[in-house]
Each structure stands twice: as structure tokens, then as C-alpha cells.
Structure 1
Amino acid sequence: MIIPFQALVCPLDGARLHCNGSAWRCAAGHTFDVASQGYTHLLPVQQKRSRDPGDSKEMVAARRRFLNAGPYQPIAAAVGRMALAGVEAKAALSCLDAGCGEGYYLRQLAAACGEGQTLELLGLDISKWAVLSAAKQDKRPNWVVGSNANLPVFSGTLDRVLCMFGFPVYPEFARVLKPSGVLLQVDSGPDHLRELREIIYPTLKPERSGEMPTPEGFVRQSSETVRYRLDLSGSEQIGDLLAMTPHLYRASAEGRAKAAALTALPVTVDVRLNAFLRQPALA
């Protein structure tokens, strides 16, 4: 069963929010409307760094087309296995996707939920276009516009936090996780999309070697590498992959033109999945 995560707090004063019809309200009277598409904007103006932060409407559309076609499904499957490992058949699990984008990985996690299990799901992204797209595709989770730096979530209320190719804010992740909660973080490996990067950049920067450091407040639980060959077909699919990554803006005009001329490209998918257990606070 998939249900929306409800333990939200007011981003202005930290008081509990209660959903009343088409709006969330706190005791002080701060009100946040639920949009007709089913998401809520919980990012105050003072927490924005730009007028329209996060991924653009075009980037979100590219990501939606690319991911819904299934090329990254092995990554989603690995995340689902790790997130649900050891969870009892009748258990309830609360999960936040911090930087959810258009919701692909949260939808895949929902699909992996076992019969009898209950998932309370919350998707959060700083891009209103991403959250809008996510809410249109699946009405079951709670979708909010917000920031990883100021999660509108009560402390110690989540069993899982996902951070998929995103911007981790470890103190906030540790704050909202239960003492037994787990952070699942996915990052690019050294060979991820190497073939595309070799085309759009004159030279590649040296890759960082070694295992990702364990963030403060956590202990490493497990690690997994997901690696496979992906055959991209058609200029649209190649363009969508480039458009949904930071490489679109880092590449030169010449590099983008080279990518746009491609009609087929085999690339290596190489990602690292780390599970970090939240350390209990010292007495």
C-alpha cells in the first residue's frame, strides 16, 4: 500500500502542518495551498537563491522522457532492493526522496513494495517544474517543493532518505531520520557516461579514486556498484540524456554540437549505491 507521508512542518516556524481540504496550515495561521495538480509549495522566498531554482521545465521534460523509457531501471531496482532489505512483510516504512526530480525513483520504489507492506512516501525537490511533473504522474505520494537544506519534516520521523545523483545535506538527513534510519545515496562512478563525456569535452578531468567517505553522523551499512552498457538510439534519446545532466551547461557549444550530431552511442552506466545507517545521538 502506498500512502502520502504526513509529518510535515511549517517552513516558517517549525510547527506541525495539518492538511485541511486543499491547504496545509499550522497553528500560527501560515497557509500553504495544495495545487490542483496535487503538490504543495513549501519553499519560502527567503530560502530561494533565484526566482526559479532547480531544474528548468525543459530539463524535467527531458528527464521524464529518458527515464520513463527504462534505461536506468537497473539503478532503480538496486535502490528498491536495498531500501526494502530486511523489511518485514507487514511493516510500514516512511521514505523521503530528497531531490526527487520528476519522481521516477520513488515510483519505482512504490512498484517494488511487497504485498502487505505500507510505504509512506514524500518526494521533495527545489524545482517546481520537477514536482509538478511528479505529481501529475502519481497522486499517491506527498509531493512538495522544498530545499534539502531546510527539510519541512519533523525530526526522527523517516525510515529512509534517498539522494539520487543529488545534493546531500547530511546534517538535515541525519536530523529527519529515525535512529535506525538509512540514507541511500547514488552517485556517478568514474566511468559513468564516459563515452558521452569524451565527445563533449576536450579532455576529461582525473576521476576521484577510492571509496566515498562516510558522512558525519552515519556509519556505512553496505555498498554496491551498478555497471552495464547502454546503447542509446536516436538523436532525441542522446539529447535527452545530455539535457538531464549538468554536462549540458558545462560543455562548450562545440561539444554540444558534436553530441547533437550523433544518432547512436553506446555508453557505460557506472554508479555507486551506498547505504549509511544513522548513528544514534550520544547521550
Structure 2
Amino acid sequence: MSTTSFEALACPLDGDPLQRRDGAWRCAAGHSFDIARQGYVHLLPVQNKRSRDPGDSKAMVAARRRFLEAGHYRPIAEAVSRAVLEGASAVGTLSCLDAGCGEGFYLRELAELAESQDEAPTLSLLGVDISKWAVLAAAKREKAATWVVGTNAHLPVQSESLDRVLCLFGFPVYPEFARVLKPGGELLMVEAGPDHLRELREIIYPSVKPPREDDEAAPEGFTRHSGETLRYAIALEGAEPIADLLAMTPHLHRASAEGRERAAALTSLALTVDVRLTRLVRK
């Protein structure tokens, strides 16, 4: 098994195919996007930004990296990687996008699992995130993939060019995912279940909201393939991993100052990980 960069990028300004040459990605209309010395490319036009520096901050990216590298979510990464490779032919290339890739943890885990198998396809990997700090961190760690600063709302990817799209604890944009997937390609999603990090939520919020009812209907353009629930316990020891977990979740901004103070006072925390892995097939 080998890992290669993903080449079927599209110009974020006009949608034309991009070609890589002379240290930049260029389209036929003359738009040019320089490849940073770390290896990533910025394909997020100013008009698609909601703020000057969108996405996770440098500190949030560092917190996520420490937490994930400690192995707390490795069972999730392993389940996702198995789902990506299931049914894939060992001959040819399997192209995979992590839409909202963060610092690249899940794509690195996918590459490692494929490397350990006797028969696995060549992986063509693409990571897209709106945070330049996340993409920078990913590009520093994994040179074989293509890393792009971009947005799921307007993916700088050519239509019908991907076999798999990952959206892990992210913000799905189903029409865009359907556009970039080949017919028969799969969207793999990981979403928080009703008990995910419940113990932390009970500390930082006055009350825990009841779980939402599951919507079994497949989004337009997709059919439901399968799903599974992953549920296991983790234990965090010390203030830093607890702070890192809070920093990498939406709860950091949703909790009140009092709730964040209660979390900061903790020195250990036992937690439930409860997530749903869903596989959807592009019609």
C-alpha cells in the first residue's frame, strides 16, 4: 500500500480544474494559488470567510492534537478506517477526503491501518479545513496527503472525483458531498450520541438537554448503507487533558463562565464516549 496526494482540486473562484506546477496550483483562467513551504494550499476566498481568522485557533488545534495523540479517540479512528477500506479493491486508487480534517489525525490513522494490511488500495488523501492553523499542523505531520484551507460549503474539489468523504464531528453539507463523490461513493459520518461526554456536560451545564430523536431518512442524493454505535469509557487524569477536551469541543463556547470554572477545578474525570458511525452511499 502507498499513499499519494490528491490532485483533482478545483479553482475556488470559477470551479475550473487546478493543475500543480512551479510551486502553485493554477487554473486555465490564470488564477494561481501558491503552495506554502509546509506543503498546504489556501483555497478559501475572502468572500467565503465569516471572520478574519475562521475555524479553530492555534491553541485549540494544539489541544486537539494532545488529546487525540493520547489515544482517547483511537477506537473511533479505527472504526472509521475499517469502514473506509471495507469493500475497496486492492487494485487501483481509493480517493478519500476528510472534510473538516483538523490536524489530520483521522487520515494519518487511516494511512497506518492500510499500511498494516497485506492487500489494500493505494490511498489518495485530501484534508480540507477552514482553520489555517489546523491545516498547517496537518501538513507538518503528513507529507503524502494534500492539505487545503477551504470550506465544506464550497469544496475546492472537482465533481465526482472522490470515493470516500469523511465528516467526523463536523458540519455536513450534503449537496457538496454528493457533488464531489463518485456514484456509489460513500459518506462516512461520526456524530455524538446521547451519552457522549455526558459526565462533562453535567458539570458545565445547569441541566443536560434531552437527546434529539434520530432522523433515519437519508439526505437527498444518498441512500443509507449501515450504521454502528461505539460506546466505551475513558479516564482523564490531570487538569490538562480535561482542559484539552473542553477546548476541542463546542462546549467551550456554549458553557457559562461558572461552568468552565467548575471544569477547570477538576483533576480527574471518568467519561463515556458514545458516538454513531453512519455510512451513506451516493446515488
Q: Same fold, TM exceeding 0.5?
A: yes
Answering whether residue 222 of structure 2 is matched by residue 223 of structure 1, we say no
Gap runs ≥5 in structure 1: none
Q: Distance in 1 between matches of 2:22 and 2:121?
A: 27
Q: Within 1, Cα distance between the matches of 2:250 and 2:258?
A: 16
The aligned counterpart of 2:59 is 58
Report the secondary structure of 1:172's partner residue.
helix
Structure 1 SS opposite 2:212: coil
CA distance in 2, matches of 1:156, 1:44: 22
Q: Secondary structure at the match of 1:61?
A: helix
Deviation at 1:87, TM superposition (A): 1.3
3-state SS, counterpart of residue 154 of structure 2: coil
| Equivalent residue, structure 1, for 2:101 | 100
In the alignment of these two chains, the number of paired residues is 279
**Superimposed CA distance per residue, residues 65-105 of structure 1 (whole angstroms, 9 cap, x where no aligned partner):** 10011110000000011111111223410000000001001
Give the aligned partner of residue 142 of structure 1: 146
In 2, Cα distance between equivalents of 1:139 and 1:210: 38
- 1:253 maps to a residue whose letter is A
1:158 alignment counterpart: 162
Partner residue, 2:197: 193
- Give SS of 1:151's match: coil
- Following superposition, the deviation at residue 209 of structure 1 comes to 2.5
| Residue deviations 1:227-275 (CA, integer Å, cap 9, x gap) | 0001111100000000000000101111111111111100000000000
Q: Please, which of 168, 176, 184 is the counterpart of residue 172 of structure 1?
A: 176
1:1-283 pair list within 5 angstroms: 1-113=2-114, 114-115=117-118, 116-279=120-283
Deviation at 1:147, TM superposition (A): 0.6
- Paired amino acid for 2:235: D
Partner Cα separation in structure 2 for residue 27 and residue 212 of structure 1: 43
The aligned amino acid for 2:129 is D
Q: Deviations over 1:155-209 (max 9, x none)?
A: 1110000000000000000000000100000000000000000000010111113
How far apart are the structure 1 equivalents of 2:164 and 2:268? 38
Deviation at 1:212, TM superposition (A): 4.6
CA distance in 1, matches of 2:214, 2:136: 38
Cα distance between partner residues in 2 of 1:111 and 1:249? 33
1:213 deviation in Å? 3.5
> Offset at 1:33?
0.5
Q: How far apart are 1:35 and its partner, in Å?
A: 0.6
Q: AA paired with 1:182?
A: E
Any runs of at least 4 consecutive aligned residues in structure 1 with deviations exceeding 6 A, and if so which? Answer: none
- Report the RMSD for the aligned CA atoms in angstroms: 1.0
The TM-score normalised by the length of structure 1 is 0.97
Farther-moved stretch of structure 1 (205-214 vs 79-88)? 205-214
What SS does structure 1 have at the residue aligned with 2:71?
coil
Aligned-partner residue type, residue 37 of structure 1: Q
Give CA-to-partner distance per residue, 1:11-36, whole Å, 9 cap, x none: 11111111113111111111100111
Once the two structures are overlaid, the 10-residue window that deviates more, 259-268 or 211-220, is: 211-220
SS in 1 for 2:163: strand
* TM-score in terms of structure 2 length: 0.97
| Displacement of 1:211 | 4.7
- Tell me which amino acid in the other structure corresponds to 1:32: F
Provide the secondary structure at the position in 1 that maps to 2:147.
strand
